[in-house]
Amino acid sequence: MHSRHKSLSVALATFNGAAYLTQQLQSFVMQSRPPDELIVCDDCSNDSTVELLDAFAANAPFAVKIHRNPSRLGPAQGFAQAIALCKGDLIALSDQDDVWCPEKLARMEACLVESPLIYAVSCNAEIVDEALRPIGFNVWDLVGLSREFPGQTGLELPLSALLKRYRIQGATLVFRSELIEAIQPIPKYWNHDAWIAIMAASLGKLWVIPQCLQNYRQHSRNVVGARPGSVLEKMRHGLEISRETYYREEVAKYSALLDRLGSTGSVANSAKAEIADKFKHLSIRGTMSKSRWLRWISVLREVRTGRYRRYATDWRSIAFDLFGT
């Protein structure tokens, strides 16, 4: 099971990706450790995406299987479907518009075969524009990992780091196929990347590599973009969100996580307790008074428990609870 020779699948979800897809496919071919198979789920593209995939499959140096969805599934369920079709011991997720560095799969596979306790590994990614020119920052800069883990060559990302904010970009993930049974189906409201990362950290270890092993392309059609944004912009965006909607979805998410872990073996009691505490924090924040003045009492109580520090992104979370609608 833990042989140093693993089969490796790439799960690629596509939708109208013809503009940049060829460069990503070629970066698969240029891998020093090429994949053993490429599984593509196309989400009803109406451009030349499928034609490009068919042409690539005809000459690819590894197996390529293309599944065409009869109706739109969206990114999370599209990736879930691609993952279910993979046969490899290891599964690498891929977006349609990035470009991988030649050593990416080799570096990430090496982490996973080093220890059976590592369930998933994620790398950093250089954020680039449409022409692959660096914008000046990377994914770790955006999610705070560059500041929290400076100068590291690779390390375990603890569950506590994932409970504070989203940390992992899906297209940087490679994980063991043993995770599939635990992660499928992906519950409502969870993005596939956050779900896989938090399940890996709950069941075993999530390893992260600070080096940028791929280019994360930004363009006008990104489903999920990446830009720093000013503090004022982030505050304005946060206060535009309905508190009722936000907490309804967040509570549902962590309720689903606790239910899944409860039915999954080999989960440390410490992980369950930490997630249950996060769930309690969200539940309290979601049931605060509609009166902004009365919310101060609940907010101060949660500040004293330390749960804002442990489970909320930063001071903007307190501002959201005090001033959000």
Domain limit, last residue, from 194, 217, 240: 217
Phi and psi torsions of 87, nearest 5°: -110, -5
Q: Is there a single domain that holds both residue 70 and residue 146?
A: yes
Q: What sign does the CA torsion over 70, 11, 209, 102 have?
A: negative
Sign of the torsion angle spanned by Cα atoms 21, 154, 7, 261: negative
**Paired strand residues for 174:** 92, 121
Q: Is residue 113 part of a domain?
A: yes
In a domain, 224, yes or no: no
Is the domain of 78 the same as that of 205?
yes
> Look-up: residue for tokens 């189906």?
185
**Does 89 fall in a domain?**
yes
The string of DSSP letters for 82-141 reads: HHHH--SSEEEEE-SS-EE-TTHHHHHHHHHHH-TTEEEEEEEEEEE-TTS-EEEEEHHH
Q: What is the pLDDT along the chain (325 residues), one digit of tens a residue?
A: 344 568 999 999 999 999 999 999 999 999 999 999 999 999 999 999 999 999 999 999 999 999 999 999 899 899 999 999 999 999 999 999 999 999 999 999 999 998 999 999 999 999 999 999 999 999 999 999 998 887 777 899 999 999 999 999 999 999 999 999 999 999 999 999 999 999 999 999 999 999 999 999 997 655 555 555 543 344 444 456 899 999 999 999 999 999 999 988 778 899 999 999 999 999 999 999 999 999 999 999 999 999 999 999 889 999 999 999 8
pTM above 0.85, yes or no: yes
80, 186 Cβ separation under 8 angstroms: yes
- Indicate whether 169 belongs to any domain: yes
Which of 156, 185, 217 is where one domain is finished?
217
Task: Tell whether 52 is covered by a domain.
Answer: yes
181 in a structural domain = yes
State how far the Cα of 318 lies from the Cα of 307, in Å rounded to an integer: 11
Nearest alpha-carbon partner for 247 in 167, 194, 325: 325
Burial of residue 51 (number of CB atoms within 10 Å: 0-12, 13-18, 19+): exposed
Q: Which of 105, 48, 41 is nearest to 78 (CA)?
A: 41
Residue 119 near residue 192, CB atoms below 8 Å: no
Q: How far is CA 68 from CA 71, 85, 170, 176, in A?
A: 9, 12, 21, 25
- Report the number of distinct structural domains present in the chain: 2
> Which residue bears the tokens 């903007």?
316
285 in a domain, yes or no?
yes
Give the separation between CA 86 and CA 89, rounded to whole angstroms.
9
CB-CB contact of 274 with 159 (8 Å): yes
Residue 223 in domain: no
- In this structure, are 212 and 277 located in the same domain? no
pLDDT at 182: 95
Q: Going by DSSP bridges, is the β-strand pair 134-138/63-68 parallel, antiparallel, or unpaired?
A: unpaired
Domain span at residue 98 reads 8-217
Determine the pLDDT at residue 226: 53
Q: Which residue has the tokens 């196309």?
A: 42
Query: 193 and 295 in one domain?
Result: no
The tokens for 271 are 């992980």
| Interatomic CA distance for residues 210 and 31, integer angstroms | 19
One domain for residues 198 and 145: yes
Q: Rounded to an integer, what distance in angstroms lies between the CA atom of residue 78 and that of residue 81?
A: 5
Same domain, 199 and 247: no
**Do 166 and 70 fall into the same domain?**
yes
